[in-house]
Every structure is written in structure tokens, then in C-alpha cells.
Chain A
Amino acid sequence: MSKILLVEDNEMNRDMLSRRLERKGYSISLALDGAEGLLKARTEAPDLILMDMSLPVMDGWETTRRLKADDATRKIPVIALTAHAMATDEQKAREAGCDDFDTKPIELPRLLGKIEALLQPNAGT
């Protein structure tokens, strides 16, 4: 069973997403802000991280950057979740190191597709 770390400060979003993903068979770990997300990523080594971009303490971009800079967490795929849908946001997310990007409101099938794509072992170069 794959473990997903969900870093999201909004309680309702957290609640919704975690329950729905759990029902789909994922094990969910939660973090309420960027710093906690960083910590949990290191200690729990999830298979994937869903990162809300606007977080307190440390925002999503900075957290992602740090995750990708740290050898221990570098390989964990990160999907950025953002409320905005501007192309600049996507670019910003990718520049921070995010592997993929999805917009809120979350469309579960779409997000699931992205999660599955990143969780599959690398098919080589």
C-alpha cells in the first residue's frame, strides 16, 4: 500500500482529501505546515507528497525546494496543489522542483491519475 504525505493547512480540504484517498487504498499521513511536512517527509519516507502551495510557517515552494535539495527526500515525487490555475503558477511549481501540479477544486479522478503516474516505478530513460 502506498503512503502519501498530505501537506495542507486547511482542515476541510485535509479532511476531504485524506478520507477520499484512504478509500481509494492509500495510507495517508498529514502535515499542517511546510516545516511539519519537511519533518514527516524525512522521518516517514512517504511514496508521494501532495503539497498545498500556500502554507503557514514555510510555504509550499520553499518546502519543495528543501525536499528536493535533501538527499533523503529528493526522490519522493511531489504534486503541487494550488488554488490558482495560471500558467505562471505551474511554472513556479516546476521551478521549485515539483514533479506535477494540480488545481483546486480537486477533481479526484484527475488527481488519482497523476498520483498513479508518479507512483509507478521509473520506466527507464
Chain B
Amino acid sequence: MALLRATSIQRKLTLVIMLVTTLALLVAAAQFVINDVRDYRRRVVDDLAILTRILGQNVTPTLEFDDPKVAEQILASFQAKPHILAAAVYARDGKLFARYNPPDRPGAEVPATAPAEERRFSRGRVFLCFPILKGPDRLGSIYLDFDLVEVWLRVGKNCVIIAAMLAISALVALFAATRLQRFITRPILDLANLANAVSEKHDYSVRAAKHTEDEIGFLIDCFNGMLGQMEKHEKILREVNQQLARSEQRAQAATEAKSQFLANMSHELRTPLNAIIGYSEMVEEELEEQGHRQLVPDLQKIHAAAKHQLGLINDILDLSKIEAGKMTLFLEVFDLAATVHEVVNTIQPLVSKNGNHLELDCPANLGMIRSDQTKVRQVLFNLLSNAAKFTEKGTIRLHVSRAPRTQDQNLGAGSQNPGAGAAGNGEHQPGLTDDLLRADGQIVFTVTDTGIGMSPGQLGRLFQAFTQAEAATTRKYGGTGLGLAISKKFCQTMGGDLTATSELGKGSVFTVTLPANTTEPFRGARGGMLTVPTALTAETRASGSAILVIDDEPAARDLVQRALTKQGYQVETAASGPEGLARARQLLPAAITLDVMMAGMDGWAVLSALKADPATADIPVIMLTVVDDKNLGFALGAADFLIKPIDWDRLTSVLEKLRRKRVSPQVLIIEDEPETRELLRRAVEKQGWQVVEAENGRVGLERVAAQVPGLILLDLLMPEMDGFAFMEELRRRPNGGHVPVIVVTAKDLTDEDRRRLNGHVIQILQKGGHSTQELVDEIYRLLASATDLAKDI
């Protein structure tokens, strides 16, 4: 059935025509045959009846004269007619008088007495019986048994002929059908093909050709009509899309214009106020000086009003920005505790003004967080100043803590869940790196006051813009009514939230939660997909010996190890300074990566020790720190380190190695201590090199810009621009990237020095040190150049 459904209409139509034709032919044939047979039979029987009657008359005398023998002779003339099975004459009394059976065949039995005078059809035979009459007298009857086989033979013959005729007719019909069906199907097929083409090419401009005025023609008209509609719709759609694009452009332009307006207004609105604030301050100062104290309060009122207005403008502009979706986050890594203390110090006068007492509960090891420092300050300031304003002779308590990440945090915009985080499972030695950036967790600030509190109704309206507790509140307490709305929006933008509880007359509690690591979606490769400049690895890998990784942070150790192993290096690790030193002496590795921020014996101390020991002094050391295994690291891109007091032999050997490399004959010495600089200059010049000097990083950069030296001797701790900043900047310049830098640093670092060094590292991290990707690239590069340098001796 499915097959039938799937055949082409051409075939179907042909099939239908054939079916109908054949059916018609069959019916006609059947009727003809039936009619013919009936006709024939009647004739045969009629002929037979006449024959029988004639013979009946012929046997009349035999009956009169009772001569059966002659009757039989006469009956014998039935021989001439084939298919007569039996014949008989019966006398008047019904008794059998004479009989006949065909001579060459069995024939049939005749009835013993005369049967009824009738024509009877039975068993494929016809039985005739007629009376024999002479005038009015009935002398007897004559009986005949005839086989109608003849008729059936004729039927058979007819059927064969008919079948043959049918076949021929069918063939002719098929031929005609196949040809003629095209008139019907061709337009339909054409339409179908056209529809297919339109559907595939989406070209609505085509039209079907109409050849007939029948239903197909009508269908074609409708189809063309539809195409026309689609064409029209498509045009409209195109136009609408164009309009939308234009509208979007206009909307975009409008938004930009609005932002521009905001920015301009911001400046325009503040400028006159600055003048009012400034001059009123100034006049106040002048008056105080000249002793006209009585005018001062009036000026202070002007001053206060202007400041208030400035606050309003700032708040309104902030809110507009937030609402325009234009509030951007400036994310940086900063010391949370320091910021908290800053705000507390700033708010202290306001707190004291109402006789309040501020308690600060802020642990010292809060560490660094990555967030928008300005906004965090603003929110804290807002909450504390509210607390101070609405509390009199009471207590305000600020509690800051770090908490592990909760599910809710993932819902905020701008917060990232780096999954594995600091990969620490099992042992986790706390170190400075640990504090620096914990990938998970959130910060919670709680500001509690014993002030006037709020009713449930007031609490409900709390974060709405321009709704202070009630109208009277603004008059009594001042403020703009925008602060909390803005603070809450800030918190939410940073991926956290601001909530409040309160009891009327007893006090209020405001709670801020912020993610500790607010980040943009991570754009670089995720951990594990570390690519490497392949050109560098072949050589260094071929050196065969191991790289020693010294780091007290398991996660960092793991990261560096994995990265190096992946590229075919053999890696050994050490988890502390002393262990690192021991292994270094043991292994004499091809290079050492050394964590700057280690607890106990820190990186600088290890470095000093390594360089002081002749056995390990020549091993290239890469100072780095990996802060978070996804985000930040820092590498001090030094080719080598010299520890003060300088081992001149070492310096000489380094210079020798470089000379062979045919670098520029100039050495740039960047050192702020004139005496040290002088010493270095003499030592270097003695080896036949040219010397250029710089007393700090900035000057050093200028020198490099003027002419790229073959080597840089760099002191780390300098004013203005120190060694770290210099390195960062140098590597960024196209011609500075390949100059070998030898870092000169003191052997015995004071705590102050250490703090400064580590502070510099943090500073660089704060500015956004290398991502993991960049860090690993840097390690390879340093390894390559360091081992390269070490090779030729």
C-alpha cells in the first residue's frame, strides 16, 4: 500500500486508465459471452426441437402400424447429429416403443416410460420430449437426450478469442494512456518541480506557466498568487529588518550620546560647586585669620550646602549610570584590611560627632581580594556614615570576615567559579601565596548600630531611591536618600548583595556579601591547555637533566611541574627553601624555578644561598610566584642573579659568555647607589665593555630606548622606578624583550627590604601579573635563554 502511495501520478493515472479500460472491456466481454452463449444454446435447442418434431412425424406410421424396428431405423438417422446421447419413442400408453443410442459412444439410458413433455435442462444436457400427433390424435411421444458440450466448447473458444482481443486492446489502451495522461499530469509535475525549486532557492520571483483553464490552471493561478504574496512579504521583511537595524543604530547612538551627556554633565555640574566650596573655604580661612569669627557660621552653611549638593549630584549621576547599565567595574587586587582601615579612619570624625563609639572587628590576615576598590570603599563609607548619623551616644560595630563560597554567590553577575580553585586537597601549607588570592570564598561585612532603628514598613522601603525613612528624616539627619540604593546596586553589580535587619528603637544591622574574587569571564585558555613555543623546547629538552621546582605551595608546585613535564622536561620538586637547597646541591639541575613568596626561608634567601655556593652558583634560577592556578603569576625575567657583595669572578664569567654571543658591546648599569654603580662600571669596563649608567628604572628605560645594550645589570630596589617595574616595562617593548638582564640584589636582606621586595611582587600582581598561560610561556622562554647562556662554558 505504501508502495502504491509512493508511485508517481503518471503511473497512477496510467494504472487507473488501464484498470478502468480493462474493467470495461471485461464487463463488455462478459456480457457478450453470456449473451452469445444463451443465444447459441437457444438456437441449438430450437434446431434440435425442430429435428425432433420432424422425426416424430416420420415415426407416426410406425406407431400406427406398430413397427418398432422401422421406428428405430428412423431414429438411427440421429446419427448425423453428434452429441445426441439418446433418443426414444414412446407409445400411446407411455411404454417404450423404440430407442436410439449413438453407435460410437456409450450414450445414455432412456427412461422406461415416457417422461413429461417438456424441455428440461440438467447435468449439462437437454432433455426434449414432444408428443407425436396425427391430426387430433396423440399417438405417442418422442424423447431426446442431447449433450450441450458443444455449447461449452463454443464458450471456451469465445473466451480465448476474447482474451486475445482483451490483451491487444489493453496494450493499445496502455499505449494511449501513457501518452494521453501527460495532458493531465504534466502541468501538475511542472508545478511540483517549481514549488521544489522555490523552496530550495527561496526565489519567490518565479511563476508557474498556465496552459489550461481547468482546475490545474486554477491551482497554478493560486500558486502564483501565493508566490506573489511571499515575494511581497519578503520585501517587507527586508525593509523591516533594515528599519530595525537603523533603529538599533539610532538607539545605540542615543545611548552613547546619553553616556557622553552624563560624562559632560558630571564635569559641568561639579565645576561651579567646586568654586563655591573652594571660595567659601577660603573666605572662611581669611576671616578666621583676620578675626571676624562672627561671619564664619554663615560661610559654613554655604559650604555645607554646596557639599551636600555635590553629594546629591554624585549620587544622581551614579544612579543614572547604574540605570543606564553603564556602571562598569574596575577590578583590581587590593589589600582588604588596609582599605577597611582607611574607611574607618575617614569616618571617625563623623562617628565622634554624635558621641558614638566605633568598634572594628577585622582580622589582620584577611588578605587580598579582587574587586572594585572604589565601590567597596563607597559602600562601606555609606553604611558607616548612616550608622553614625542615626545613632547617638551609641555603639557602631564593623565586622569583616572571610567565608567559604555559598551557592548563592554563583548567581551574581561578574562572579566566577573557577572550579578547581587552589586545587588543594589534602595537605595545604599556608603561606603568603595562600593569602594573596583564594579563588573561592566571599567577604562579609556587617555594620551594626544601636541607633534609632526602623519599622518593618521603613525597612521595606529601605533600598528604594529617594525614600528616606520619612520626609522628616531628611530634614533632621541630612543625606540624599540615594546612598543605600546605590550601595545595593553596587554590591549586586559586583556579584554580591546588601541586606538589612532592624528593630525600631533598638538599632540596625546591615550585611554586605561580596565575592572575594570578582572577575570577568576568563578569556584565556583554561588550565591544562598550555601551549608552548615549540622552537624553544627542543634545545632545552635535549639538555637531559632535570628542572628543580622549589615552591611551598602544593598547587603552584603542581602547576609548574605539570606544565614542564608536559613538554618533556624531567621535573624534581622541593617544598621548602632548605629542602630546595639540599636537592639543588644533590641534583645539580639544568635550571631552578624558585618561588619568591615562601614561608620560612623565602625565595630571596634561597637565591642568595644558591649563588653563594660555587657548586650551584651557575645554575640558572627563575624567580617566580604562582598565585592562583588559574589566574595570576609573576616571573622575574632575569637571566641570572648577582648577590652583593658582588663576586667579581662571577661577573667576569657572565660577561665572557656574553661576549661569545656577539651581542652589542654595551652594558647598561641600573643602580641607584653611586658607589655600587661606580664599582660595577669599573669591573665591566675592565673586561673591555662600554658602560652606560642609569640611576633608576625610568632612566634605564630611556637608555634602552636610545640604544639597546647587550646586557643589563639591574638593581632591584631603587626609587622612582624599581627593578621589578623596569623589567615589566622592558619586556613589553619590542626591542627590549631579548636583552639578558642580570639582577643584582643584596645578600642579607633586611626585613624592610624583604617587605619591599614582596610588596613589589604584590604590586605587580595587583596590576595584573601574567596569566597562567603567559607565565608558563615566560618560564619556557627564560629556561631557554638561561640554559642557553649557561651552555657555552
Contact = CB atoms under 8 A, between A and B. Distances in A.
A13 B274 CA distance: 8
A83 interface: yes
Contact of A122 (B281, B286, B373, B719): B719
Contacts of A97: 698
A23 B285 CA distance: 9
A105 interface: yes
Interface stretch (A33-41, A43-51, A84-92): A84-92
Contacts, number: 52
A105 B273 contact: yes
A6 to B, nearest CB: 14
A110 to B, nearest CB: 11
A97 B273 CA distance: 30
A123 to B, nearest CB: 10
Interface string B237-274: 00000000000000000000000000000010011011
A122 B285 CA distance: 32
B673 A12 contact: no
B332 A87 contact: yes
B285 A13 contact: no
Given A20-B285, A104-B274, A106-B278, A86 B673 contact: no
A105 B277 contact: yes
B503 to A, nearest CB: 36
B332 A125 contact: no
Nearest to B279: A16
Contacts of B285: 20, 23
B330 A20 contact: no
B652 interface: no
Q: Which size class do A's interface residues fall under? A: 20 to 34
B281 A87 contact: no
A88 B274 contact: no
Contact of A85 (B332, B374, B672, B698): B374
Interface string A1-13: 0000000001011
B275 A13 contact: yes
B316 interface: no
Contacts of B282: 16, 19-20
A109 B319 CA distance: 30
Contacts of A87: 330, 332, 373-374
Nearest to A54: B267
B374 A12 contact: no
A17 B673 CA distance: 38
A17 B702 CA distance: 34
A125 B279 contact: no
Given A86-B330, A87-B330, A105 B719 contact: no
A47 to B, nearest CB: 17
A19 B673 CA distance: 40
Contact of A16 (B271, B275, B672, B702): B275
Contacts of B279: 12, 16
Nearest to B372: A87
Contacts of A12: 274-275, 278-279
A114 to B, nearest CB: 16
A68 interface: yes
Interface of A: 10, 12-13, 16-17, 19-20, 23, 68-69, 83, 85-88, 97, 104-106, 108, 122, 125
